[in-house]
């Protein structure tokens, strides 16, 4: 099972520590074929990295389905301030 299937769709994924959007999630890649194999079914804090915090922080998925474009912008603005 892929991480994407575990997140509510559509979602805004943010850092669990600072609420920022500058996050990365570890994934496995076959070095011979460069095929993306997928990451963990349930990423631990170790599998996620926030470049703002410069730490493995964990993530939070905020469901945004049903929100207007303006409401999504407000969520984004609030999380990065």
Q: Which long-range contacts (CB under 8 A, 24 or more apart) does 70-77 make?
A: 72/12, 75/12, 76/12, 76/21
Give the residue with greater pLDDT, 64 vs 4. Answer: 64
What are 25-78's pLDDT values in tens digits? 887 788 898 888 776 666 565 688 999 999 998 888 888 777 777 777 776 666
Indicate yes or no: pTM above 0.85.
no
Residue 13 has pLDDT above 80, yes or no: yes
- Residue 75 host element (H or E): helix 69-80
| pLDDT confidence of residue 1 | 42
């Amino acid at each position: 099972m892929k991480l994407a299937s575990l997140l509510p769709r559509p979602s805004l994924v943010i850092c669990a520590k600072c609420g920022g959007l500058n996050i990365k999630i570890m994934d496995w890649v076959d070095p011979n074929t460069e095929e993306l194999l997928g990451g963990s079914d349930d990423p631990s804090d170790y599998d996620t990295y926030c470049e703002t915090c410069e730490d493995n922080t964990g993530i939070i998925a905020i469901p945004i389905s049903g929100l207007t474009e303006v409401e999504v912008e407000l969520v984004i603005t609030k999380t990065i301030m």
